[in-house]
A and B are shown apart, each in its own frame.
Chain A
C-alpha cells in the first residue's frame, strides 16, 4: 500500500498546495476545519496524526459500548431475582466471586506501569519526529541512534499483564469459580476476558510498531502508529481500572 509515487498525477503541479492551503486565510464560511489539501492527501504528518487520532476516538466508541452493555447486563443480573422452578419462588442466586485480590492488584500495577512506559515511548518518538527533518536526508538512518527501549518494555509489561490475568483465571478455577458454574463468575470471566482480548490487540499493535522500526520505514509512520497505540493503551488501562472497580464494588 505504501508507495513512493505521488498520489495524484497533478500533484506535482500543485506541490505547494498542502502547505499553501494551510497558510491561506480560511475562507469565511469555508469548510471549517477543511483546509486540507484534498488533492494529494497531505504529506504533513500533523494532519495525518490528527486524522488517525480521530479514527481511534471513533474506534474506541464501540469498545466503550461493548463494556457498557456488559456492565448493564451485570448490574441488572445481579439485582435480578430468578425463579426457582422447584419452589416456584423468586430467589437471589447471586454468589459473590472470591477474587484473587493480591494477584489482581499486582496486575493492575503492571498495567499502570506499562501505561507510563508507553507514554514515555510516545514522547520519545515525538521528540525524534521534531528532529526528523534532518534525518530525512537520504543515507541518514535513525536506527543507529540509541534510545531507551520504552516500546519493548511496554510490550513486555503488556504480556506480563496478560500472563497475570491468566494466572488469575487459574486461581479462580482453583477456588471453584468456572466460566459457567455461577452467574457471577461468568461475568468475571467475561469482563476480564474481553478486556484481555482488547489488550492483546494493543500488544499486536506494539509489535507492528516495532516491525516498522526494524523495516526502517519512515519515522512519520512509526510515530503515528506509536501515538495511536499509546492512546489505545491508556484507554485499555483506564478500562481495566473500571472493570476492576466494577468487580470490586458491585459484587
Chain B
C-alpha cells in the first residue's frame, strides 16, 4: 500500500519553504490567501482615504505623496475598486476561509488537488504584484475605472496611465482569472468527491454550500472575463478592432485607417463595438458581485444559527435561494447597461430578471430573522458582525429595486447612488462577513482567542462608520452627483453638496482609524491571546471536532463519520444544547 500519491495525499512537510511558502496544505494556503487579502484591503483603504481627501480638499498636498491631480484621483479610484473587488472580496472569503475550512467542514484531509491549490494561490499573488506594478511604470496606473470601459481602456493615448499601466492592469486581471479558475475547479471537485461518510450534500454547512456555488459561478464567469481581457490586450497591442470603432479622433490625434485596409496596421481600427466589452465585462461582473457576497451569506447563516443556539431557519430554502441567486445571476448583467445604448426592449427584459433575483435575497433575509427569532443570542464578536451583516445587506439590497427599474436608473445611473448601493451590499456587507469569519475561526486557525473588548469597539466603529460613509452617498446620488468625479468645483449644483462630502470624508477617516483596532487585535492575539479550546463557541460543524489548530491531515488519522445536520442546536432532550455533526444521530437530521 505504499503507492505514492501525486494527486492528493502528501506527508506533513518539513522545512520552512515547503511548510509555509510553497505549502500544499490547504490550511497554510488558506492563511496565505487571507494575508494577501489583508495586505490588499489596507492598500485599498489607503487609496480610498487619499481619494476622499482630494475630493473635498482638491488643493491639499499629502505628505510623502505630493499633490493629487484629477487624473491621480481616477488612478486611485481604479486601483481601489480593482484591488477591493478582486484581491479582497474574491480572495479572502473564498480563497482564504474556503480553502481553510471547506475540506475540514466536509471531513476531507485536504483539497482534491493540493498542487493546483498551491499554484492557484501563487498565481493570484503574482497577479497582485503585477497590479501594484502598474503604479510604478511610466505613466502610472490606469484611470479607466474598475470596469475598464473601452475605448478609454483600449487606446493608449486616451489619458495618462492608459499606456503600460493599463496593459499591466489587464494582464493582472487575466492572471487573476487563471488563479481563480484553478481554485474553483479544486473547490468543486473537493465538494463533489471528498465528503466524509455521512456528509450528504444536504448535511453540508451552509458555508460549504456558499463556497461550492461561488466556485461554480467563478468557473463560468472568469472564463468570460478572460476572453474580454484577451480581446482588449489584442486591441491595445496588435491593432485589432474588437472594441474600438473606426474614425475616432482623440484630442486631435486621429485613430483612423491611414489608407483603408492594408494601411498602417497599428492604427487601422475598423468598426469595433464598445458595447461588446460591456457585455463581456458585466456577464462576468454581475456574477462577480455574488462571488463576493455568497460566502458572506454562508458565514452569516452559520453564525446566526450558532450564536442564537437555534437550527438555521429553512435550511433547504437557504440552499435553494443560493442556487437560484447563482443561476439568475447570469441573466441580469444588462442592468448595468440601461443607459449604454443597448436596446430598450432588452433593457426591459433585464430589469424584470433583476427584480426576480431580489426574491431569493429577500428569502435569505427572512430566514436570518427567523433564525434569531426565539433564539438565545450570545453576543460574542462573531455574532455582532453577523448581525451587522444582515443589517447592511438589507440596507444595501433595498436600493437595488431603484436601480433595477430602467426608468429610475435614468436619474440614478452613474451617480453616487450606485457606489452607495454596491458599497453597502457587496463592499461592507462582504467585509462584515470576512470580519465575522475571522473572529469566529481565528481560534481554530491560530489556536488563540481574539480580544473581545477590542472586537466590540471594532464592531461599533465599523457599523456606525459604514453607515455614516455610505448612507449619505444615496442623498448625493439623488441630488444628481455623478460618480467618479475628482472634484466638485466645476458643476454649480454640486457646491451645496460639499458639506455632505466633507462629512463622508470625516466618517471615512474615523472608520479607517477603527480598522487598526482590528489589525492590532489580530496580531496581538496571534501571539498573546489566551489559548483556545477545541470548540470555544460550542459549534456543531466538523472543524470544531478536531484539535486546535487542526493537525496536518485535519483529523489526526481519525475519519469523521457524520450523523447529523449541521445546525442541531437546542435539540429537545439532548444532553447539551448542541449536537455535533459527528455525535450519535438525533431525530431530525437533514
CB pair A1–B6 under 8 Å, yes or no, is yes
Kindly list chain A residues whose C-beta atoms are within 8 Å of the C-beta of B502.
Answer: none
CB pair A4–B4 under 8 Å, yes or no, is yes
* B interface, over-half SS: loop
Instruction: Confirm or deny: B555 has a beta carbon within 8 angstroms of a beta carbon on chain A.
Output: yes
CB pair A61–B220 under 8 Å, yes or no, is yes
- Shortest CB-to-CB span from A218 to chain B, Å, is 6
Number of interface residues of A (CB under 8 A): 74
The interface bits of chain A over 36-70 (1 if a CB of B lies within 8 angstroms of the residue's CB, else 0) are 11111101010010111011001101111110111
Kindly list chain A residues whose C-beta atoms are within 8 Å of the C-beta of B271.
Answer: 80, 82-83, 93, 183
Instruction: Please judge, given known A-B contacts A62-B181, A220-B3, whether A54 and B192 are in contact too, CB under 8 Å.
Output: yes
CB pair B239–A34 under 8 Å, yes or no, is no
CB pair A37–B559 under 8 Å, yes or no, is yes
Instruction: Confirm or deny: A8 has a beta carbon within 8 angstroms of a beta carbon on chain B.
Output: yes
CB pair B261–A181 under 8 Å, yes or no, is yes
- Shortest CB-to-CB span from A96 to chain B, Å, is 14
Kindly list chain A residues whose C-beta atoms are within 8 Å of the C-beta of B7.
Answer: 41, 48, 51-52, 224
CB pair A7–B245 under 8 Å, yes or no, is no
Kindly list chain A residues whose C-beta atoms are within 8 Å of the C-beta of B8.
Answer: 41, 48, 51
Instruction: Confirm or deny: B231 has a beta carbon within 8 angstroms of a beta carbon on chain A.
Output: yes
8 Å CB contact of A31 from B276, B283, B562: B562
Kindly list chain B residues whose C-beta atoms are within 8 Å of the C-beta of A82.
Answer: 245-246, 270-273
- Shortest CB-to-CB span from A149 to chain B, Å, is 23
Interface locus among B109-117, B162-170, B529-537: B109-117
Residue on B nearest A186 in the bound complex, by CB = B240
Interface locus among A12-20, A108-116, A120-128: A12-20
Instruction: Confirm or deny: B419 has a beta carbon within 8 angstroms of a beta carbon on chain A.
Output: no
Which of chain B's residues 87-135 have a Cβ closer than 8 Å to chain A?
A: 107-110, 112-116
CB pair A221–B560 under 8 Å, yes or no, is no
Kindly list chain B residues whose C-beta atoms are within 8 Å of the C-beta of A43.
Answer: 1, 3, 5
Instruction: Confirm or deny: A11 has a beta carbon within 8 angstroms of a beta carbon on chain B.
Output: yes
Q: CA A240 – CA B234 in complex, angstroms?
A: 22
Kindly list chain B residues whose C-beta atoms are within 8 Å of the C-beta of A220.
Answer: 3
8 Å CB contact of B246 from A32, A83, A95: A83
Instruction: Confirm or deny: B458 has a beta carbon within 8 angstroms of a beta carbon on chain A.
Output: no
Which of chain B's residues 1-21 have a Cβ closer than 8 Å to chain A?
A: 1-11
Instruction: Please judge, given known A-B contacts A30-B197, A77-B273, A182-B270, whether A58 and B109 are in contact too, CB under 8 Å.
Output: no
Instruction: Please judge, given known A-B contacts A51-B7, A190-B231, whether A39 and B2 are in contact too, CB under 8 Å.
Output: no
Q: CA A221 – CA B9 in complex, angstroms?
A: 13
Instruction: Confirm or deny: A165 has a beta carbon within 8 angstroms of a beta carbon on chain B.
Output: no
Instruction: Confirm or deny: A152 has a beta carbon within 8 angstroms of a beta carbon on chain B.
Output: no
- Shortest CB-to-CB span from A223 to chain B, Å, is 11
- Shortest CB-to-CB span from A169 to chain B, Å, is 13
Instruction: Confirm or deny: A86 has a beta carbon within 8 angstroms of a beta carbon on chain B.
Output: yes
Instruction: Please judge, given known A-B contacts A54-B189, A86-B247, whether A10 and B219 are in contact too, CB under 8 Å.
Output: no
Kindly list chain B residues whose C-beta atoms are within 8 Å of the C-beta of A84.
Answer: 246-247
Instruction: Confirm or deny: A29 has a beta carbon within 8 angstroms of a beta carbon on chain B.
Output: yes
The interface bits of chain B over 165-189 (1 if a CB of A lies within 8 angstroms of the residue's CB, else 0) are 0000000000000000100111011
Which of chain B's residues 211-230 have a Cβ closer than 8 Å to chain A?
A: 219-224, 226-228, 230
CB pair B228–A69 under 8 Å, yes or no, is yes
CB pair A181–B11 under 8 Å, yes or no, is no
- Shortest CB-to-CB span from A52 to chain B, Å, is 6
Instruction: Please judge, given known A-B contacts A34-B198, A69-B223, A178-B265, whether A55 and B246 are in contact too, CB under 8 Å.
Output: no
CB pair B109–A55 under 8 Å, yes or no, is no
Instruction: Confirm or deny: B252 has a beta carbon within 8 angstroms of a beta carbon on chain A.
Output: no
8 Å CB contact of B280 from A32, A52, A69, A93: A69
CB pair A2–B189 under 8 Å, yes or no, is no
- Shortest CB-to-CB span from A183 to chain B, Å, is 6
Instruction: Confirm or deny: B241 has a beta carbon within 8 angstroms of a beta carbon on chain A.
Output: yes
Kindly list chain B residues whose C-beta atoms are within 8 Å of the C-beta of A35.
Answer: 197
Which of chain A's residues 21-35 have a Cβ closer than 8 Å to chain B?
A: 21, 27, 29-35
Instruction: Please judge, given known A-B contacts A31-B198, A43-B5, A186-B240, whether A64 and B223 are in contact too, CB under 8 Å.
Output: yes
CB pair B107–A38 under 8 Å, yes or no, is yes
- Shortest CB-to-CB span from A6 to chain B, Å, is 7
The interface bits of chain B over 467-506 (1 if a CB of A lies within 8 angstroms of the residue's CB, else 0) are 0000000000000000000000000000000000000000
Q: CA A144 – CA B392 in complex, angstroms?
A: 67
Q: CA A6 – CA B221 in complex, angstroms?
A: 38
Kindly list chain A residues whose C-beta atoms are within 8 Å of the C-beta of B186.
Answer: 55
- Shortest CB-to-CB span from A197 to chain B, Å, is 10
CB pair B265–A66 under 8 Å, yes or no, is no
- Shortest CB-to-CB span from B510 to chain A, Å, is 42
- Shortest CB-to-CB span from B325 to chain A, Å, is 19
CB pair A55–B113 under 8 Å, yes or no, is yes
CB pair A66–B3 under 8 Å, yes or no, is no
Kindly list chain B residues whose C-beta atoms are within 8 Å of the C-beta of A186.
Answer: 234, 240-242
27 of the cross-chain contacts (CB-CB < 8 Å) are A1-B24, A2-B10, A4-B2, A7-B553, A31-B199, A32-B201, A34-B197, A34-B198, A35-B197, A38-B197, A38-B559, A38-B560, A39-B555, A41-B5, A41-B9, A48-B5, A50-B193, A62-B223, A62-B226, A65-B220, A65-B227, A69-B223, A69-B227, A76-B273, A76-B276, A84-B246, A186-B240
The 7 A-B residue pairs whose C-beta atoms are closest, nearest first, are: A10-B557, A85-B247, A41-B9, A82-B271, A65-B223, A62-B223, A69-B227
Measured CB to CB, the residues of A under 8 A from B are 1-11, 13-15, 17, 21, 27, 29-41, 43, 45, 48, 50-52, 54-55, 58-59, 61-66, 68-70, 73, 76-77, 80, 82-86, 93, 95, 176, 178-183, 186, 190, 194, 218, 220-221, 224
Extra pairs beyond A1-B24, A11-B557, A55-B113 (16, CB < 8 Å): A1-B115, A27-B198, A30-B198, A33-B192, A34-B196, A34-B199, A34-B200, A39-B109, A48-B7, A55-B116, A61-B223, A62-B220, A66-B226, A69-B223, A179-B240, A182-B270
